[in-house]
C-alpha cells in the first residue's frame, strides 16, 4: 500500500523517533513492505518512518531504485559506528519536494542496525549509499538536510516553503 508522505512543516519530521522493540511482527513486516512501495512510487532511494507519520526508528533504502533486490536495506534502530572522509553532493528529500542542495557528508560510513527479525547486522557504504544512510538516519533524530545548510540557504528555502504553504501549494 502506498502511504502519504509527510511534508516539511509537520512537527514529526523534526522530532526524535522511538526505538523499536517489537521485532518480527506482521505489523512491522507490513509497515516495511508499505514503506518500500511508497518509496518506489515516489522514486526515492530512501524513506524514513517519520516521513509516513510513524515516529519509530525504522528506515528503508534502495540505491538501485528497485533494480537489484540485494540492494534493499531495512534498518531498525540504526547507529553510525564509523565515519571516514568527506563528500559533497546534491541531496533532496521526499518530504521537501522541489528543493535540492549540496550537502557535505562523510564519504564512507559503517552502520549497525537490527533487521525485521531483530537480528543485529552491520552495513558499510560509500558515495550514494553513504549519503542515503546518513540522510535517513538523520530523519530518525528529527534532522533534515536543511539543517546541514548555511543559515542563509536554509532561511531562503524556509521562506519559499512558507509562500507555497500560504498559496495552498505545499
Give catalytic residue positions.
136
Element (H or E) spanning 80, and its range?
A: strand 73-84
Residue nearest Ni ion, Cβ-based: 93
Which of 5, 17, 73, 93 is close enough to bind Ni ion by CB under 5 A? 93
- E-strand stretches of 19-86: 46-48, 58-61, 73-84
Nearer to Ni ion, 93 or 106 (CB): 93
Cα angle for residues 151, 155, 157 (degrees, 5° grid): 120
Nearer to Ni ion, 31 or 93 (CB): 93
Nearer to Ni ion, 11 or 22 (CB): 11
Name the one residue in this structure whose C-alpha cell is 504553504: 165
Find the part of the chain contacting Ni ion (CB under 5 A) among 14-22, 23-31, 73-81, 90-98. Answer: 90-98
Residues in the chain: 170
C-alpha distance from residue 156 to each of 34, 88, 98, 100, 139 (Å): 33, 20, 13, 13, 21
**What minimum distance in Å lies between the beta carbon of 141 and Ni ion?**
12
Show contacts with Ni ion in window 22-61 (CB under 5 A): none
**What minimum distance in Å lies between the beta carbon of 134 and Ni ion?**
11
Nearer to Ni ion, 75 or 93 (CB): 93
Give the binding-site size for Ni ion (rule: CB under 5 A): 1
As a whole number of angstroms, the distance between CA 37 and CA 126 comes to 25
**What minimum distance in Å lies between the beta carbon of 81 and Ni ion?**
22
Half-sphere exposure of 21 (CA within 13 A, CB side): 1
Find the part of the chain contacting Ni ion (CB under 5 A) among 27-35, 56-64, 85-93, 97-105. Answer: 85-93
**What minimum distance in Å lies between the beta carbon of 87 and Ni ion?**
17
As a whole number of angstroms, the distance between CA 153 and CA 147 comes to 10
Name the one residue in this structure whose C-alpha cell is 519559499: 160
> Where on the chain is the footprint of Ni ion (CB under 5 A)?
93
Amino acid at each position: 500500500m502506498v502511504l502519504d508522505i509527510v511534508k516539511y512543516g509537520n512537527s514529526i519530521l523534526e522530532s526524535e523517533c522511538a526505538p523499536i522493540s517489537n521485532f518480527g511482527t506482521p505489523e512491522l513486516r507490513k509497515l516495511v513492505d508499505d514503506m518500500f512501495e511508497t518509496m518506489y512510487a515516489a522514486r526515492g532511494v530512501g524513506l524514513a518512518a517519520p516521513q509516513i507519520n510513524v515516529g519509530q526508528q525504522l528506515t528503508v533504502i534502495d540505491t538501485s531504485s528497485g533494480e537489484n533486490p540485494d540492494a534493499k536495506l531495512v534498518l531498525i534502530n540504526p547507529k553510525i559506528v564509523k565515519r571516514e572522509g568527506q563528500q559533497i553532493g546534491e541531496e533532496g528529500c521526499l518530504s521537501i519536494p522541489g528543493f535540492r542542495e549540496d550537502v557535505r557528508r562523510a564519504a564512507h560510513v559503517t552502520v549497525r542496525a537490527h533487521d525485521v527479525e531483530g537480528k543485529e547486522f552491520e552495513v558499510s557504504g560509500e558515495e550514494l549509499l553513504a549519503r542515503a544512510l546518513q540522510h535517513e538516519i538523520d530523519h530518525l533524530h528529527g534532522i533534515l538536510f536543511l539543517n546541514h545548510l548555511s543559515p542563509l540557504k536554509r532561511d531562503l528555502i524556509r521562506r519559499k516553503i512558507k509562500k507555497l504553504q500560504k498559496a495552498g501549494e505545499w
